[in-house]
Amino acid sequence: MLKDKKLTFLTVLYLIVVVLLIPLIYTIPNKKFLNILNTSDFHTASSVAIILCMVVIFLLLKISKIKKLILIFIASLIIYSVFGIYYYLNLPEYTYDEAIAKVEQSDALLGKSVEVLQPPYREDKVGIGKESFLKTTNHLYYIYLTVDDQPVVYKFNPLNGEFELSERVRDF
């Protein structure tokens, strides 16, 4: 009877941690980057790794249910730790405001008068770049400026800080 209660408690604890708390690892910094981070890629990849680990543990190991659950719990922590560390080490280098400052400084250094225009909607600030699995983002920022009284739009890669003129037209 005591073993059944331990097993039930460990199962509930495991589900609470994996289902409710772990996804927060990936969503916490997302707002800072205008919700452009690929949280679903990382959550999916880590979940698939855990499922594969569970299958191996349940099918190949001939140990008690409690020991299997403890092994799965430890394996899950290791898998989420590895994916979480990789995720945080590869967060974009620039937020939208930092990207604006970098582009503005670049044009100002050339001796031009620069005025930043902030679009009111998030959709005007971001665009999709190259699709890539397990890259923290595949989005670009769009920076809107008026340089020497001419409207200019830059595409800015938040991962490495590279930017170039865009053909996008300012429509706000």
- Judge whether residue 56 has pLDDT over 70: yes
pLDDT recorded at residue 172: 61
* pTM passes above 0.75: yes
Q: Is the pLDDT of residue 171 over 80?
A: no
User: For the chain, what is the radius of gyration of the CA atoms?
Assistant: 23
Residue 159 has pLDDT above 80, yes or no: yes
- Can you tell me the distance from the alpha carbon of 16 to that of 75, in angstroms, rounded to the nearest whole number? 16
Asked if residues 11 and 41 have their Cβ atoms less than 8 Å apart, the reply is no
Give the up-direction half-sphere exposure of residue 49: CA atoms within 13 A in the CB hemisphere.
17
Check residue 111 and give its pLDDT.
Answer: 78
Residue 158, pLDDT score: 95
How would residue 140 be classed by pLDDT, with cut points 50, 70 and 90?
A: very high
